Structure 1
Amino acid sequence: MTRNENTPQPTVTPDTTDDPRKGLLKAIALAGRTVAAVRPEQLDGPTPCTEFTVRRLAGHLVAVLRRIALAGRGGDVASLPTLADDLEDTEWQAAWDAAVREVEAAWADPEILGRTLTLPFGSLPGAAAAAVWTSEFTVHTWDVATATGQRPDWDPELVAVAYAAMRRGLPAGPRDDAPFGAAVDVDAEAPAIDRLVAWCGRKP
């Protein structure tokens, strides 16, 4: 399983020398391209995030986008579902594009980075919340890509930010209280994306 908005608050302090909203929007854009490239016959296939098929994972990501937008507007994200399961296959792209526009509008003010946002697992500054969601979208993009035979063009800086956040936010030992499997051993020289997803319990 992977990080979602019910994940306990991480201890990571994101690097605020760069605007973390940029990384979040890059992660969202890559996720959007990856899901858009899924073929219809692949939608009911399994993913490495075992609770989701490809179709349901796409619906989850639309729901997360809507939650990010609501958080940016000062709302309680727990008031929205974690899965947009009412979308027809022909409606997915329009729903995604609309949700992205909502995120961009809700997070347009740079002051949001220092504003306290209410998430299901607690309150976080906007900068830290952006790091959490960047990690979620990056790992889920790998889930979709792996399930459908895609090879995304990973942004090294983005993966590095997500990996650092997950290393600090997830314990190396037992994870009984977190929605993640145990970390998987991977070669220290493995690609950064492999090390990220292995830390999140995937087998790259």
Structure 2
Amino acid sequence: MRLLELHARALELAASVVDAVQPEQLVLPTPCADWSLRRLLEHVVGQHRGFAAAAGGAGPDLALWRDVPVHGDPAGAFRHSAARLTAAFALAAAAPHPAPLRLPEIRDGGPIPFDRAVGFHLLDTLVHAWDVAVTLGSPTRLTAAVEDDPVLAGELLALAGAVPAAPADRAPGRAFAAVLTARESAGPFERALALLGRDTAWALSAR
């Protein structure tokens, strides 16, 4: 399944960003309002666990989606949980008709088609990877790596364009902010970020 291959590629790119995180950097602020880098990574690892549980047939139990402490080894926590998620998605995809996933944070836990759920996580993975990279002051390498893979970049842009953008969907506290205007020269990753309300000019010095 091409989507699973793209998802695995996104996870590896994100892991390579998290590999660079040092314990003393976990206190840094991130583009996610009021979230330190530690909180962001604990959220990401918790999402890995939640999606893996959903792929295994779990119901929309919010307890399965709680943030997971990363302690002093964020890279290890990320890679371990990502490997479990990849295995869970592969097992679910092996069924003749993969079952929909119950995601408590979307549609009040209503069933989401398997491919769409994988797409949701692929989008989340790359956007949060950018959040981490820009927090560390080095988003360019990630952006270039994604855009060097036209299929992955195209999938990311298509997924971002499909996210509901009505004011109620982008209100404070929602996953994404209001759509921004990308530069005319922006590549697909930057355009995807703008569609999701991420300010690519964000910098620690501005916070």
The bucket for the TM-score relative to the shorter chain is 0.7 to 0.9
Match of 1:144 in 2: 132
Letter in 2 for 1:100: A
Match of 2:22 in 1: 39
Between the aligned partners of 1:172 and 1:162, the Cα distance in structure 2 is 20
Letter in 1 for 2:195: W
Which digits, 9 at most, give the CA deviation of each residue in 1:159-190, with x for residues without a partner? 32122112122226553384321111112331
Q: 1:197: Cα distance to partner?
A: 0.9
| 1:129 and 2:124 correspond | no
Match of 2:154 in 1: 160
Q: 1:140: Cα distance to partner?
A: 0.6
**CA distance 1:61–1:44, shift in 2 (3 Å):** same
Letter in 2 for 1:68: F
Between the aligned partners of 2:88 and 2:157, the Cα distance in structure 1 is 26
Match of 1:194 in 2: 190
TM-score (norm 2): 0.80
Further displaced range: 178-187 or 109-118:
109-118
Q: 1:46: Cα distance to partner?
A: 1.0
**CA distance 1:173–1:156, shift in 2 (3 Å):** farther
- Write 1 or 2 for the structure with the bigger share of helix: 2
Letter in 1 for 2:87: A
Match of 1:185 in 2: 181
Match of 1:83 in 2: 67
Match of 1:108 in 2: 90
Three-state SS of the structure 1 residue aligned to 2:158 is helix
* RMSD of Structure 2 on Structure 1 (CA): 2.1
Letter in 2 for 1:136: D
**CA distance 1:107–1:147, shift in 2 (3 Å):** same
Further displaced range: 131-140 or 174-183:
174-183
Further displaced range: 46-55 or 134-143:
46-55
Q: Which has the higher contact order (CA 8 A, sep 6+)?
A: 1
Between the aligned partners of 1:93 and 1:38, the Cα distance in structure 2 is 7
The one of 76, 79, 90 aligned to 1:94:
76
Letter in 2 for 1:188: E
Q: 1:54: Cα distance to partner?
A: 1.2
Letter in 2 for 1:170: P
Between the aligned partners of 2:94 and 2:77, the Cα distance in structure 1 is 27
Structure 2 residue ranges without an equivalent (≥5): 201-207
Match of 2:204 in 1: none
Structure 1 residue ranges without an equivalent (≥5): 1-17
Contact (CA 8 Å) 1:163, 1:196: kept in 2 or not?
yes
Between the aligned partners of 1:82 and 1:26, the Cα distance in structure 2 is 25
Which digits, 9 at most, give the CA deviation of each residue in 1:4-43, with x for residues without a partner? xxxxxxxxxxxxxx52111111111111110111233322
Contact (CA 8 Å) 2:165, 2:178: kept in 1 or not?
no
| 1:51 and 2:34 correspond | yes
